């Protein structure tokens, strides 16, 4: 069965600095999708970034980028120029066969 | 606003009560999901519906009963719940098997007394 592991329960970063959140996953499949979702205190799950496993190029969305290492089954999220509004729970997720499996999440604190 | 609406936002119920959670989307999606989010645990997939047909029941106790009358509406009927069922229940929708993102509702915070 697929699993998603986020080894950092909590992280803190100074405003305007860069932070990297880690995610590893386990699968025997070669074709799948990976996501990072953000859940602020409002509880709304918001998609941050999406990566297709068959694409070698790392996805980027403005200040958010990923380091996708398929062989290592690693999918880390880098947030550049951190802002106070980035404070939230971040969930890494794996999608295949109509199911999304989530990691336990990393709570990100932004220090002013 | 994601286009997925869940009601109620909060629910407190006793163990003998019967209540229902409602989820509605008008995004043209054909897949709908129920997730349970408990403290310090990953989001747990409960049920998946594809074109109104249930395709996944992730070993969920029978005190949780889903209903999907059409591709826009999803219900979760609750009866004789336990205190450990207290959690945030999230509904989501997507285009079936497309790898496109899930759109989530804001959830129902359930407390079972």
A50 vs B2: CB contact, 8 Å cut-off? no
Rounded mean pLDDT of chain A? Answer: 93
Reported as a single tens digit per residue, the pLDDT across B25-59 is 989 998 899 999 998 778 898 998 887 777 777 78
Q: At residue B95, does pLDDT exceed 90?
A: no
Q: Is there a contact between B50 and A103 if contact means CB atoms under 8 Å apart? A: no
The alpha-carbon gap from A63 to the nearest alpha carbon of chain B, in Å, equals 19
Q: What is the Cα A29 distance to its own chain's centre?
A: 19
Q: How far is CA A73 from the centre of its chain?
A: 13
CB atoms under 10 Å from CB of B65, counted, come to 15
| Per-residue pLDDT at A112 | 92
User: Residue A98's closest chain B neighbor by CA?
Assistant: B97
Shortest Cα distance from B95 to chain A (angstroms)? 9
Contact A35 B101 (CB under 8 A): yes
Q: Do B45 and A103 touch (CB under 8 A)?
A: no
Residue B15 near residue B69 (C-beta atoms within 8 A): no
A1 Cα to chain B: minimum distance (Å): 13
Q: Under an 8 A CB cutoff, do A44 and B2 touch?
A: yes
């Amino acid at each position: 069965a697929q699993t998603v592991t986020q080894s950092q329960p909590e992280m803190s970063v100074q405003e305007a600095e860069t932070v990297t959140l880690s995610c590893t996953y386990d699968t025997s499949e070669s074709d799948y999708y990976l996501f990072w979702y953000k859940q602020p205190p409002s509880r709304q799950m918001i998609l941050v970034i999406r990566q297709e496993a068959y694409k070698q190029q790392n996805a980027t969305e403005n200040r958010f980028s990923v380091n996708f290492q398929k062989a290592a089954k690693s999918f880390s999220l880098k947030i550049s120029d951190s802002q106070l509004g980035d404070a939230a729970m971040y969930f890494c997720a794996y999608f295949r066969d109509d199911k999304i499996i989530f990691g336990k999440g990393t709570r990100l604190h932004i220090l002013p | 606003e994601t286009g997925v609406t869940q009601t109620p936002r909060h629910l407190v119920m006793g163990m003998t009560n019967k209540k229902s959670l409602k989820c509605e989307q008008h995004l043209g999606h054909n897949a709908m999901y129920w997730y349970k989010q408990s403290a310090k645990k990953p989001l747990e997939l409960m049920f998946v519906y594809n074109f109104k047909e249930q395709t996944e029941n992730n070993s969920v106790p029978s005190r949780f009963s889903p209903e999907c009358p059409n591709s826009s509406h999803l219900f979760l009927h609750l009866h004789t719940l336990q205190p450990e069922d207290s959690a945030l229940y999230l509904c989501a929708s997507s285009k079936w098997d497309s790898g496109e993102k899930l759109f989530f509702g804001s959830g129902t915070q359930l407390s079972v007394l």
